Every structure is written in structure tokens, then in C-alpha cells.
Amino acid sequence: MCLIHIFSLSLQQESFILHNSLPAGKQSPLLFLVQPLAAGIGLGLSFSSWFQQWESILLVCLTASMVGTIICHKKIKPFPYTFHNIYIVLLFLSVTQIGIYWGETAMNRLDPLYPDGEYQQLRVVLLEPPTEKPKTYSCLVIPEASNQKLLLYIQKDSLSSHLQPGDQLEIKSKLSIPADFSEEFSYRNYLKTKGITMTGYVNKRHWRLSKENSIPLYLKIQIQAIKIREQLISRIDKVITDHESRAIIHAMLLGDKTDLSTEQKEAYSRTGISHILALSGMHISFIVLLLGWLTCRLPRWVQHIITLTGTWGFIFMVGLPVSAIRAGIMLSILLLNPFKGQRSMAMDRWAMAAIILLILNPIYLLDIGFQLSFAAVAGILLFMPFFKIIPHIPLFIQEGTYISLSAQLAVLPLTLWHFGTFPIYFLLTNLLVCLLFTPLIMYLSIAITIIGEITIISSPLSSILTYIIHLQQAIVDFIQNLPGSQISFQYFNVGSLITGYITIIILLKYLHKKDSKSIIKLQISIICLLLCFLLKC
């Protein structure tokens, strides 16, 4: 019963983070602003070279729009009906143009610093543990006095196998701009979302360790957090001997998916629960609940400070994944709100998290994790109020079902666009795995990490945890092998994506009003969606 109670709290993606939502239908001011900002950033990222040529004209238009917005804002009170619509339009245009400029500037900042295909001699800092390949080690590095990252493939030898985060290297490498291997997936843009602009191969004779210590403070903090994560991974590996179980624990607890096999990733993807292998709001909610339980007897303000510090420390340690940052920002706004004496709305928190992330790094808009994370939470916030509690069915089962349906509906167009597949049994797998196994694996993994090698305690815990992970894997394998476990949509393109979200918006409008016009619009949008799919547009 304790486990069920814990999960019924964390089911709402970030537990209490999503509980304070307003009734659907009330317009959030920040939600209004995030739409043109995201649209503008998207345009700026997509057409950065074109906007760069017309940058002066864009700035003139932006200035004119902002001046017009200020003038109309002052005129609203005496002439509300005359100037209100003009004010809204000009404000929308102003924010859109700010987004265009910010997106275009961000894309230009990621223009490669070095000529394509030429040898460079550089001093670089290793940011993460090297990933072993058949003949090389893949190393994420950052050059001295630069914010752009490089992905280097260092030839294997006795020295490269001992490289650690924080090592400074002097290298000679032929750097190249990453190529796109297919029209469906832009590998170059994928690397740009990680801040990586160029790649290169380093011969074992063309690198050496540097004795200089010129690492900036912010990099030292980041590297230290990664070293702590590696120490925790080492503690887990000393207790858990099964490789498959290790890989699942590394992914679910610390966000390290390097040890996951292709078969494991494919199985979780086909059953619609790959999100449990990527740190997200659900994982952050477990950390928040644990910290809240440990500090429950302390004053509330002390509890909030410890919870925020612990949560952000965890997010930083696991490498700042965008979905975890989003959950952290929403949690911070919620917990800090009582100090300001204002009531915060859930959609405002969602929009504020999006605005902060897009301002800090507009390239996040191209990140699949960013898109899926924000779409899923928006779906939960917007669709959950329309589900009704059914008597005689346990509440945690109903919440799990409604949250899975809401999130899946919101991410459906994105999932089909990016991956071209849809897991038929996603609801069954989410209820079984997320309800029964995820909280157990998370908390047992935390316990083993803390206890370490105290054999009398860690040995039985590790055996129980390994058994639970094997049982979870058996259920996942069974469901993925059921007939029709996955449907492929080969021709779900941009037109289908846009029409899909128009259909979802109209569906929400119908749920609010339930009038005949909304029904007609919904029917038309569904027909257009089917036509887009059939015509492959």
C-alpha cells in the first residue's frame, strides 16, 4: 500500500508540480507569449542564412512593432474596442520577431570556428567519459577559449583507455562539418542541439596530455558533477553483477544509456515506455518525494530549500537533460511561489519553463526530448480535467490511465513524425511497468548506491533488484512480441504533423464548448489529416 501511495503521488508526471492547474479554458498570459516566441525561433533556426541577409530590415520591423505595441497599450483604457485587437497583433508580431532574431543569432553562433576539412592544432578539455568504439574512443571535448564542442574519435591505445573527464589534451586533427546521412534525420542539427559543431579523427601519435591547468570555473563544476556520477556508477557496478540490470539502473537513475543494448532500446521503444530510460519529470518526482519524506519534520521553508538544492544537484549531476531541466524549473516556480505571496498556474509554469529554456538555448527547439517533454506535460494539463473519476476503481489506476492517454495523445503527431511508428499496447505497458516496477527500481537503486558494499545489506537488495529488472524485461519482451505491437506510418510528414496538432486544438475547443460548429471543424480537420496521410504530404 505504501508503494501504491507513493506512485499515486508521482503519477502526475511531477507529482504535485502539476496538481495546481487551473480549470482548462482560462487563458494564461505566458502561454500567449510562448507561442510566437517558439514560432519565431523556429523560423530563425530554419532560415538563419536568409534572415541574416535581411537583419537590418528585421530590426527596423521589430522596433516599429514594439513602438506600436506601447502606443496601443496606452490607448486601450480610453478606447478598449478600438485598440485591443491591434495591440494583440502588434505584441504577437513583436515577440515573433524577437524569436526570429534570437533563433537566427543562436544558429550563427554555432557556425564552425574552423575551416572544413583542414588540420588544426588545439588544446581541448575532455567533458565526459570516453565512449568505447570498435577502433576508437568517442570523446566530447571543448577547445580552449570556445563555447563550441567537438566530437573527436581518438585511436585506441594504452593511453587513450585511461582518459578521464577534466583531462586537457593537445591534439592535431582534421576537423569536418558533420554530414547528414538521410533526408529524414539531420545528424548535423542533432549534434547542434548538443552544442557540437565539428567532428574529427585523432591518430594515437597526434595527441598528448597537457600539463597546463586553464579550465574555467564553470567547466570545473560541470566536470566535477560528471565525476560524481561516475563514482556512483562505480558503486552500483560493484554491487550489481548482472550487466543487463546495470544498464537499466544506469539509465533510470543516472541518465547514462551507454551500456544499454540495441535490443533493450528497441524493446522499450516498441512497447511505448522508452521514456522510463530517459530522465524526465517522472524520475525527478521520485527524487522530490524522497527529499520531501526525509525533510517532512522540518519547517516548510527549510524543506523547500533542501528539496530545490537536492533536485537541482541531481539534475546537474546527470548532465542537465532538457526534460529534467523543465521539471526542475516548474518545481522551482511552484516551491518559490509561497515566498512571493502569489498563486502560480500550472500552464504558466509550463510556459515559463519553455521561455527560460528557449532564451538560454534556442537550439533546444530542435531537440526531440524538448519537444516530447513539453508536449506530454501540455497534454496532461489540458486533457486531464475532462476525465471523470469512476467509482469502485482504485484512484491510482485511473490516474495512471488518464495520464498515459493524455500524454500519448499530445505527443502522437510528434512520435509519428520523428519515428514513424506507434506502439499499440502503450497503455498496458505503462500501467504494468510504471505502476509496479519503476518506483521499486528507483528507490532500491538509490538504497544500493547509498549503502555501497556493506554486503550483509547490499547483497539481498541487489538480488531483489536484479530479479525485479529481469521480471520487468520479461514483461516488456512479452508485450513487444504480441501480434501488431507496433504500427508503422511511413509517410507522416510536416503537413500531417501540422494538421494533427490543428485537430488536437479543435478537439480541445470542442471539449470546452461542445457546440455544433466545433463538431464540424473537428470533422473537417480529421478529413484533412487523413488526406495528408493518403496523399503523402
CA–CA dist 321, 18 (Å, integer): 20
Looking at residue 28, its pLDDT comes to 65
pLDDT reported for residue 1: 40
pLDDT of residue 468: 92
Non-local CB neighbours of 490 within 8 Å, separated by 6+ positions: 420
List the chain domain ranges: 18-109, 118-215, 227-487, 494-534
β-strand partners of 208: 170
217 and 306 Cβ atoms separated by less than 8 Å = no
Strands 149-155 and 168-176: unpaired
Rounded average pLDDT over 138-142: 90
Q: Beta partners for 172?
A: 121
Q: Please indicate, yes or no, whether the overall pTM of this predicted structure exceeds 0.85.
A: no
How many Cβ atoms from other residues are within 10 Å of residue 240's Cβ? 24
The 10s digit of each residue's pLDDT in 414-428 is: 888 888 888 888 888
Note the pLDDT tens digit of each residue in 200-259: 999 988 998 887 777 777 788 888 888 888 888 888 888 888 888 899 988 888 888 888
pLDDT of residue 153 exceeding 90, the answer is: yes
Measured distance CA(118)–CA(394) in Å, rounded: 64
Q: What is the pLDDT of residue 75?
A: 52
DSSP string computed for 364-408: GGG-HHHHHHHHHHHHHHHHGGG--PPTTS-HHHHHHHHHHHHHH
- CATH 3.30.1360.200: does it fit domain 118-215? no
The Cβ of residue 451 has, within 10 Å, a number of other Cβ atoms equal to 16
3-state secondary structure of 126: strand
Instruction: Please tell me the predicted confidence (pLDDT) of residue 469.
Output: 92
Give yes or no for a contact between 423 and 271, defined as CB atoms under 8 angstroms apart.
yes
Calpha distance 353→330 (Å, rounded)? 6
| Strand 196-202 with 149-155, pairing | parallel
- Grid coordinates representing 215 are 579550465
Q: Closest Cα partner for 384 from 367, 363, 409, 364?
A: 409
pLDDT score of 87 more than 70: no
Closest of 88, 75, 164 to residue 126, by C-alpha: 164
Q: Give the pLDDT band (50/70/90) at residue 341.
A: very low
Categorize the per-residue pLDDT at 116 as very low, low, confident or very high, splitting at 50, 70 and 90.
Answer: confident
